[in-house]
Homo-oligomer: A and B are copies of this chain.
């Protein structure tokens, strides 16, 4: 089942190219997120796919080197950072269960006294950001986050799009509601505007599929990045982050993603999805048009094709 090196290289490039060519006539499907003004103007007719295997090779096709706004995918990296700082104690302030509701729902927060269901809905990621902020100024925390991403992807050229961050800051009323609501329950230590200033910057991270697939590679490889040899987290923690991505990574479409794709994944409203095939590869796909549950329409289908062609589903081949 392990990837034969030569054979695998050839197969994967063909698979990646095949999928990209099947998507070509469908470019523009779905609906671009418009609630962040700066993202609404993006050209929907784009598709990129990149697969980086645990032996360090990257196979890509389409617009896989175009940077896009990763948005919620950054929640995976912030969670990793917070676990590194505070360990399992973070679970006192955020749960580990699927939410059964939309990414920005506040109902659950009232019923569960300000404790968000998991780190991958907005409320949970805001609490995680509050933890990462401890002892730092927003500027420092943002800097630390960006250095961490560059370290993970082994790429110093990655940046944060200030325009996108400011656009969210000016219109993110719902996130201000979530943050203040949690603060009223004592589950936010810093003022909402400081936490959200940091939060919006992390969401505004701009990466290409190639960069993103490399940054996530440690999760496919027992916590160690094979590109650099650095251990990012323990094997156990890598498994656990993957588990969270599978059960909670797509808001109220997580069950469906597991059913069709069968890989831990995290989507963002920018149209990107990061998926992990444990022991095999890290995969990044991007296409701006979203489906009804807010995940990239073509991206979700591309990952389903890829999982079938590679036999990488964690649920059997």
Contact = CB atoms under 8 A, between A and B. Distances in A.
B96 A255 contact: yes
B240 A315 contact: yes
A121 to B, nearest CB: 11
Contacts of A109: 106
Chain A at the B interface: mostly helix, strand, loop or mixed? helix
A222 interface: yes
A258 interface: yes
A309 interface: no
B315 A242 contact: yes
A181 B315 CA distance: 34
A96 B259 contact: yes
Interface stretch (A7-15, A37-45, A55-63, A171-179): A171-179
Interface in A244-273: 244, 246-248, 252-256, 258-259, 262, 264
B278 A98 contact: no
A22 interface: no
Interface in A72-130: 95-101, 105-111, 117-118
Nearest to A313: B239
A173 B184 contact: yes
A110 B178 CA distance: 12
Contacts of A194: none
Interface in A159-178: 173-174, 176-178
A279 B184 contact: no
With most chain B CB atoms within 10 A of its CB, the pick from A97, A117, A192, A262 is A97
A226 interface: no
B184 A255 contact: no
Interface string A292-317: 00000000000000000000011111
A243 to B, nearest CB: 4
B239 A315 contact: yes
B105 A110 contact: yes
A284 interface: no
9 contacts: A1-B279, A97-B98, A97-B253, A173-B192, A177-B180, A222-B316, A239-B313, A246-B258, A247-B247
The 3 closest A-B pairs by CB, nearest first: A100-B100, A98-B98, A278-B316
